[in-house]
Structure 1
Amino acid sequence: MEALSVFPAFIHTPAQPSVHTGKPAAKDEARDARIWETAQDFEAQFVSTLFQSMYEGVGEDDPFSGGPGETMFRSMLVDQYGRQMAQSGGIGIADAVYREMLQMQEVQK
């Protein structure tokens, strides 16, 4: 029986290998890799922006805060959360952006 993870699905843990290999998955062989990567980057940026606004309400003056280091590196952590979430399936924005980019490319031909 597989153990359940208490971590959100977008956080990489040793029991859960990273999904993204830089190439399309076997079921996504028909996808254009460059367009798909760009669509995932867009979704990652969008999700990072959502997470950044979530952290704006978190105080930094409590006894268990990370101090100046937390403030300095929080944006990088939030960016990685967004990237990992987008690579793990995300919230569906990458699929829509991918389809739009393909349509734009067909119109230009």
Structure 2
Amino acid sequence: MCTRKIIQIIESKSAMNLNMPPTAGPTLQDTKAQQNAQLRQVAKDLEASFLAEMLKGAGFGKARESMGGGAGEEHFGSFMVDAHAKSLVQRGGIGLAETIFEALKEKQNEHLKTE
């Protein structure tokens, strides 16, 4: 292929790229979906924290008197309680996360209206 032909192809490709509209950034729907996902995650984290405290209050994760796991069980019991609480939330929890999510979303919408 001759050099002139190559230059014509490159110029035609460049001209085609100039005529294309610039790629748009994230749309409003994408941004809103990301915000909702973040709010939902915060709500789930809060429900998990609440459930962990309730499980601790019920004595879940405490070392047993007979045949206990020793000092390690006592120290790492809180990790087990947190893991159980997160697992409960992943399986649907007690419905607290959805209530918190709706309240946070409503509060966010009110904040956006006042701006």
One fold, TM greater than 0.5? yes
Tell me how far 1:74 sits from its aligned partner.
Answer: 0.3
Give the secondary structure class of the aligned counterpart of 1:55: coil
Identity of aligned residues (%): 27
Could you state the TM-score of these two structures normalised by the residue count of structure 1? 0.66
Could you state the TM-score of these two structures normalised by the residue count of structure 2? 0.63
Q: Structure 2: any 5+ residue segments left out of the alignment?
A: 1-32
- 1:41 corresponds to which residue? 45
- Counterpart contact for 1:36–1:98, Cα < 8 Å: yes
Give the secondary structure class of the aligned counterpart of 1:38: helix
Q: Identify which of structures 1 and 2 has the higher relative contact order when contacts are C-alpha pairs closer than 8 Å and 6+ apart.
A: 1
Q: CA RMSD in A?
A: 2.3
Structure with larger Rg: 2
Q: Structure 1: any 5+ residue segments left out of the alignment?
A: 1-28
- 1:96 corresponds to which residue? 99
- 2:108 corresponds to which residue? 105
Alignment length (residue pairs): 80
Which structure shows the higher helix fraction? 2
